[in-house]
């Protein structure tokens, strides 16, 4: 029986895009949380962590409410891009994003905090602006741990099931990601297809995680594992 | 000229007792050493001046610029203070070459001049040949020179050094001291240097500020502090004195003499103005001011019998430790024949006795 490879490619594409977005947004969030004291920091921290502990259905429900066709955000998206967000592959990106960002922010924050404070003090003392300090000192010093965090986020996005199902649906050839395709294949009694996808997904995840672990042996900082 | 009057309360943490910093100091051009034991608040003082710590109250003035004023709510960012800082671990950026480290610090200098300035500093600190290396490929002395060059390249108005000789071998220390003396002569600004090494004080300090438990307890030229510690705590800090509890038994201003009781023995010293008979005080005397010889019959004038506990070898002399925490430095050859003798007499000088 021929295997439909579309879900695998879709998952890889979704995970790549969501990791890129998570990096762009998560890094500065992590930077702010590791560097500044402000009111509501605890709440922000908890809110960022929330998706890690909430059941996927709860998260999916929230997203449906916030991004659905009747919500202001959903209408704004529809107005801007000419199509609704929910039940498209872009919605799968959003779902993956909510799964991977918490992990990325947490690991990136730990990475920033593991950079010896004296380098940041030295940079400030030498007149560097906060932006320059971030780009020229902290980020390069935390580089490997950040890459490891991104790899973890990628692996995590690859495997999302519940949230994706709730807001992107299960439309074969359009929004069916690999995790959902495996579920479908098992339900349909197509054990051979399920086995192949399971093995491939496991191999990719294993590869990414071992890469992450190799990266966390940071030559500039203390050793710590990504997980 | 730097003038700092700062107070800050550090609340007790799970692993640390509370600490209160209450420093009032000023320093002009030349090297001023902040001397004190670890945990006295020396580094906190530097960090407050550099702007890493915000004091609760007070005022920090560098030349005529206010860096911090608690009452007026002024707290300049570290970036705006132009205080060179040489960190205890050097804090050279490990991912940049030595040249890049200097260039990072010289960002404010226009590009063309920056290149010239970096070369000039590399030359001056004998680093040109290793300028392409990263910090981990440098020796301790090179890292040290680079961190000083980096702190100086932006033309700071004040240089702060946090235990710069820590971890350096004696030859490298000597090199560092001469480098710092040269920096003092070439750069016209105050230098504040933190150390708990008395030798370093004498090598470098034009002025010395003794800090203990978050407070300035004495300041002045090191020689003067060494000769006249203000109180017994400072004498203890300096760590080079015998401190013996004595009671004043007699004072005779006309003959400029006094009699002191130490344990069961009487010592004769000079007249101590401002003291009363019956006062308890600390006799403060350096190990090299005392002399010792094997006991032979009754102790003579100003001699106290003591029991030898231990002998410590020093490069140029022997240090004899007696019961009662009295130490005496002697010439090695004068001790050779008596190494098995346990009963000694220690002779106290008559005129040189000081009490605190």
Architecture label for domain B241-284: Roll (2.30)
pLDDT score for B55: 95
Measured CA to CA in angstroms, residue B88 lies from A3, A59, B143, B239 at distances of 62, 49, 11, 23
Whether domain A6-215 has CATH 3.20.20.140: no
* Per-chain mean pLDDT for chain B: 90
Per-residue pLDDT tens digits for B235-291: 888 887 888 899 999 898 898 889 999 988 889 888 888 888 888 989 888 888 888
pLDDT score for B16: 78
Per-residue pLDDT tens digits for B140-185: 889 999 999 999 999 999 999 999 988 888 888 999 999 999 999 9
Architecture label for domain B2-237: 3-Layer(aba) Sandwich (3.40)
Residues belonging to chain A with any Cβ–Cβ distance to chain B shorter than 8 Å:
116, 118-119, 121-129, 132, 136-137, 140-141, 220
Average pLDDT estimate for B83-105: 94
Domain spans, chain A: 6-215
Cα–Cα dist A200/A202, whole Å: 5
Check: CB of residue B68 under 8 Å from CB of residue B55.
yes
Model confidence at A227, in pLDDT bands (50, 70, 90)? Answer: very low
Residue B330 has pLDDT above 80, yes or no: yes
Residue A199 has pLDDT above 90, yes or no: yes
Beta bridge partners of B330: B318
Measured CA to CA in angstroms, residue A79 lies from A13, A14, A168, A174 at distances of 25, 23, 19, 21
Q: Look-up: residue for tokens 């008395």?
A: B198
Q: Which residues in chain B have their CB less than 8 angstroms from residue A127's CB?
A: 79, 82, 105, 107-108, 154
Check: CB of residue A104 under 8 Å from CB of residue A31.
no
Closest chain B residue by Cα to residue A136? B104
pLDDT score for A226: 42
Query: Which burial class, exposed, middle or buried, applies to B3 when counting CB atoms under 10 A from its CB (0-12, 13-18, 19+)?
Result: middle
pLDDT score for B274: 85
B85 touches chain A (CB under 8 A): yes
Measured CA to CA in angstroms, residue A81 lies from A69, A168, B47 at distances of 13, 17, 53
Closest Cα in chain A, distance from residue B161 (Å): 12
Architecture label for domain B286-350: Beta Barrel (2.40)
Per-residue pLDDT tens digits for A52-88: 889 989 999 999 999 988 899 989 999 999 888 889 9
Residue A220 has pLDDT above 60, yes or no: no
Model confidence at A219, in pLDDT bands (50, 70, 90)? Answer: low
Per-residue pLDDT tens digits for B201-251: 988 999 999 999 999 999 999 988 888 888 888 888 888 788 889 999 989
Strands in B242-252's sheet, in edge-to-edge order, are B265-269, B257-262, B242-252, B280-285, B354-355
CA dihedral B128, B130, B131, B135 (to 10 degrees): -140
pLDDT score for B241: 84
pLDDT score for B102: 95
Q: Where are the alpha helices (DSSP H) in B63-197?
A: 98-105, 111-124, 140-153, 170-186
Per-residue pLDDT tens digits for A152-167: 899 989 888 989 999 9
B 196-225 near A (Cβ less than 8 A): none
Closest chain A residue by Cα to residue B103? A126
* Per-chain mean pLDDT for chain A: 88
pLDDT score for B181: 93
State whether A122 and B77 contact (CB < 8 Å).
no
B271 touches chain A (CB under 8 A): no
Model confidence at A217, in pLDDT bands (50, 70, 90)? Answer: low
In a mutational test of the B interface, the residue from A35, A119, A127 whose CB has the highest number of chain B CBs within 10 Å is A127
Both structure tokens of B171: 């030859």
B52 touches chain A (CB under 8 A): yes
Closest chain B residue by Cα to residue A116? B91
Residues in contact with B223: Cβ distance below 8 Å, sequence separation at least 6, in sequence order: B202
pLDDT score for B230: 87
| Nearest one of A3, A47, A16 to A151, comparing CA atoms | A16
Residue A43 has pLDDT above 80, yes or no: yes
pLDDT score for B167: 81
Cα–Cα dist B216/B36, whole Å: 9
ipTM of the complex: 0.81
Please determine whether the domains at B241-284 and B286-350 fall in the same fold group of CATH. no
Higher pLDDT, B16 or A177: A177
Decide the pairing of beta strands B257-262 and B265-269.
antiparallel
Average pLDDT estimate for B285-312: 87
Check: CB of residue A103 under 8 Å from CB of residue A52.
yes
State whether A125 and B85 contact (CB < 8 Å).
yes
Domain spans, chain B: 2-237, 241-284, 286-350
Closest chain B residue by Cα to residue A130? B79
Residues in contact with B31: Cβ distance below 8 Å, sequence separation at least 6, in sequence order: B180, B181, B184, B191, B193, B204, B205, B206, B207
pLDDT score for B219: 93
pLDDT score for A99: 84
pLDDT score for B218: 93
Counting Cα atoms < 13 Å in the Cβ hemisphere of B179 gives 20
Residues in contact with A81: Cβ distance below 8 Å, sequence separation at least 6, in sequence order: none
């Amino acid at each position: 029986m021929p295997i439909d490879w579309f879900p695998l490619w879709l998952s890889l594409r979704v995970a790549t895009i969501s990791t890129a977005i998570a990096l762009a947004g998560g890094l500065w969030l992590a930077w702010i949380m590791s560097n500044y004291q402000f009111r509501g920091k605890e709440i922000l921290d908890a809110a960022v962590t929330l998706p890690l502990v909430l059941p996927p259905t709860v998260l999916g429900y929230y997203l449906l409410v916030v991004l659905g066709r009747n919500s202001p955000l959903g209408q704004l998206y529809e107005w801007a891009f000419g199509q609704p967000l929910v039940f498209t592959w872009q919605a799968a990106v959003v779902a993956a994003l909510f799964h991977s960002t918490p992990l990325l922010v947490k690991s990136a924050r730990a990475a920033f905090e593991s950079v010896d404070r004296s380098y940041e003090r030295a940079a400030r003392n030498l007149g560097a602006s906060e932006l320059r300090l971030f780009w020229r000192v902290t980020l390069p010093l935390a580089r490997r741990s950040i890459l490891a965090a991104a790899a973890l986020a990628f692996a995590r996005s690859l495997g999302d099931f519940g949230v994706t199902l709730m807001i992107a649906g299960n439309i074969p050839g359009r929004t069916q990601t690999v995790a959902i395709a495996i579920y479908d294949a098992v339900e349909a009694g197509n054990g051979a297809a399920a086995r192949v996808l399971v093995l491939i997904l496991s191999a990719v995840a294993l590869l990414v995680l071992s890469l992450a672990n190799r990266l966390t042996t940071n030559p500039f900082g203390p050793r710590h594992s990504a997980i | 000229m730097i003038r700092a009057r700062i107070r800050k309360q550090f609340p007790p943490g799970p692993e640390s007792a509370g600490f209160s910093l209450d420093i009032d100091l000023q320093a002009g051009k030349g090297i001023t050493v902040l001397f004190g034991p670890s945990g006295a608040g020396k580094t906190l003082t530097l960090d407050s001046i550099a702007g890493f710590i915000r004091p609760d109250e007070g005022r920090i003035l560098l030349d005529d610029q206010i860096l911090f004023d608690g009452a007026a709510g002024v707290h300049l960012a570290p970036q705006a203070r132009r205080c060179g800082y040489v960190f205890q671990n050097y804090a050279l950026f490990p991912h940049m070459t030595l040249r890049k480290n200097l260039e990072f610090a010289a960002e404010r200098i226009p590009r063309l001049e920056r290149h010239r300035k970096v070369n000039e500093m590399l030359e001056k600190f004998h680093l040109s040949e290793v300028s392409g290396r990263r910090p981990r490929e440098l020796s301790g002395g090179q890292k040290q020179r680079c961190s000083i060059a980096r702190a100086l390249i932006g033309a700071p108005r004040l240089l702060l050094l946090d235990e710069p000789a820590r971890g350096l071998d004696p030859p490298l220390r000597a090199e560092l001291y001469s480098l710092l003396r040269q920096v003092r002569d070439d750069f016209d600004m105050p230098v504040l240097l933190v150390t708990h090494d008395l030798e370093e004080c004498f090598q470098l300090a034009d002025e010395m500020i003794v800090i203990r438990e978050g407070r300035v307890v004495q300041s002045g030229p090191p020689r003067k502090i060494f000769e006249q510690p203000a109180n017994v705590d400072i004498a203890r800090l300096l760590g080079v004195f015998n401190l013996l509890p004595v009671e004043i038994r007699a004072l005779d201003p006309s003959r400029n003499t006094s009699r002191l009781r130490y344990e069961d023995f009487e010592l004769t010293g000079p007249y101590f103005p401002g003291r009363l008979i019956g006062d308890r005080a600390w006799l403060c005397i350096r190990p090299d001011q005392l002399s010792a010889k094997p006991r032979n019959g009754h102790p003579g004038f100003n001699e106290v019998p003591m029991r030898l506990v231990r002998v410590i070898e020093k490069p140029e002399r022997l240090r004899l430790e007696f019961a009662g925490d009295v130490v005496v430095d002697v010439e090695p050859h004068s001790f050779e024949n008596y190494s098995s003798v346990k009963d000694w007499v220690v002779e106290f000088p008559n005129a040189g006795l000081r009490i605190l």
